[in-house]
Amino acid sequence: MKLAYWPGCVSRGFTTELHGSMALVAEELGIELETLDRANCCGAGVIAEHNQELADTLNARTFALAQETGLAMMNICSTCQGAMSECQERLDASAAYRKHINEALSGEGLEYVAGKDGFTNKNFLWLLVEDIGLETLRSKVKRPLEGLRVGPFYGCYVLRPKARLGYDEHPERDLYLEQVIDAVGGQVVDYDGARKCCGFPVITMNRETSLTQAGTHVGDAIDSGADCLVTPCPLCHLNLDLQQPEAAKVVGRDLGLAVLHLPQLIGLALGFEPKQLGMQRHIASTERVVERLTGANV
């Protein structure tokens, strides 16, 4: 399977371990990635908040670059998925609006074509379940994550709004993390925060609200017996992992729960070593995850 690949900004910025693990895991799963290195930031909802037309044009440019390759497109960030799907919804809704936006791309020889055959923009989680399939994933597992108790953390942008994010066609998209954890042999931990907000979008505006959210969800997962969380969103990772010691201060309790990127969890099951997956770069220690796996392999 060959895909046009939009890694996003944060996976090449503060969470390079995500970008690195994705490359390893893709190869193992038989995915060839053609990186869209000319593409721009999705705007993360912030640019749309500033100027909707600007956000729509910037994302139309990325879609057009992907369409130029003739391949379906994959992203590895819930926030990219949500921000891009929002723009795509408007672009697909009206031929007149699309024409207006495409005029801005014509200088570069680009055009976004709505409903172009074979073009989709899916994040790795959706692609993994819908296009690769849980059975294929199961068959490739070399190290079942037996005994590892994993709490799913989706990120808002792949959950809501349902009407925009393809839930009519794929109603189980809000259950895929559980299905994937199960497929790689892990144990799903049910806890209150799995589908809530990590608080990242307001970290620079209302630190208290933001870190209360992150700290509460991490705390709930710990109380439910999780060894780690797994998330398909690097921005959630920043608030849940990078900010975890600060979140602990805000919610007034000890935390200390590893937060894995989705490709890291898959990578562990495919037999990669924690260090290859950059797990030493995390702020919240991943030692417990490693111990569980070593224990399971003895």
Partner 1 sequence: MANYTLRVRRHKPETDDRGPAGPYWEDFRVSLDPTLSVLDGLLQAKDRQDGSLAVRCSCRAAICGSCGVKVNGQSTLACKTQIGEAQSGANRVTEGRHAARASRPGSEPIVVEPMGNMPVIKDLVTDMESTHWAKMRQVTPWLLNDGEPPEREHVVPHEAMVDITQTISCIQCGACVSSCLSMEASPEFIGPAALAKAYRFVGDPRDAQAKERLYELAQDPHGIYDCTHCFSCIDACPKGVAPMDQIMRLRRLAGNDHEIDDQNNGHRHEQAFVKIIESKGTLDESLLLQESFAPGVKGKLVPRPSAIKGLLESIPTAVRGIRTGKMRSLSKLIPGVHPKLPGDSQENVKKIYERAEESRVQFNLYISGTDKEMAENEDTSESAEEATTV
Q: Among residue numbers 23 through 82, which ones bind partner 1 (CB under 8 A)?
A: 37-38, 40-41, 43-54, 56-58, 61, 82
Contact flags string 152-171 toward partner 1, x per CB under 8 A: ----xx-xxxx--------x
Question: What is the radius of gyration, based on Cα positions, of the chain?
Answer: 19
Please, which of residues 202-241 interact with partner 1 by CB under 8 A? 202, 204-210, 212-213, 216
Q: Which is nearer to partner 1, 29 or 110 (CB)?
A: 110
Residue with tokens 């399971």: 296
Please, which of residues 126-155 interact with partner 1 by CB under 8 A? 134
Which two structure tokens, joined as six digits, stand for 44? 């993360």
Q: Which is nearer to partner 1, 27 or 49 (CB)?
A: 49
Handedness of CA 117, 119, 125, 126 (dihedral sign): negative
Q: Do residues 178 and 102 make contact, with C-beta atoms less than 8 angstroms apart?
A: no
Please identify which residue in 100, 273, 275, 287 interacts with partner 1, judged by CB under 8 A: 100
| 151: three-class secondary structure by DSSP | strand
Please identify which residue in 107, 118, 168, 298 interacts with partner 1, judged by CB under 8 A: 107
Q: Contact between 175 and partner 1 (CB under 8 A)?
A: yes
Q: Do residues 148 and 289 make contact, with C-beta atoms less than 8 angstroms apart?
A: yes
Smallest distance, partner 1 to C-beta of residue 298, A: 25
Q: Could you give the CA distance from residue 175 to residue 2 in angstroms, rounded to a whole number?
A: 26
Q: Which is nearer to partner 1, 27 or 56 (CB)?
A: 56
Q: Could you give the CA distance from residue 37 to residue 6 in angstroms, rounded to a whole number?
A: 8
Please identify which residue in 112, 122, 178, 219 interacts with partner 1, judged by CB under 8 A: 178
Please, which of residues 235-274 interact with partner 1 by CB under 8 A? 242-243, 245-246
Residue with tokens 């371990």: 17
Q: Which is nearer to partner 1, 222 or 295 (CB)?
A: 222
DSSP codes of every residue in 53-75: HHHHHHHHHHHHHHHHHTS-EEE
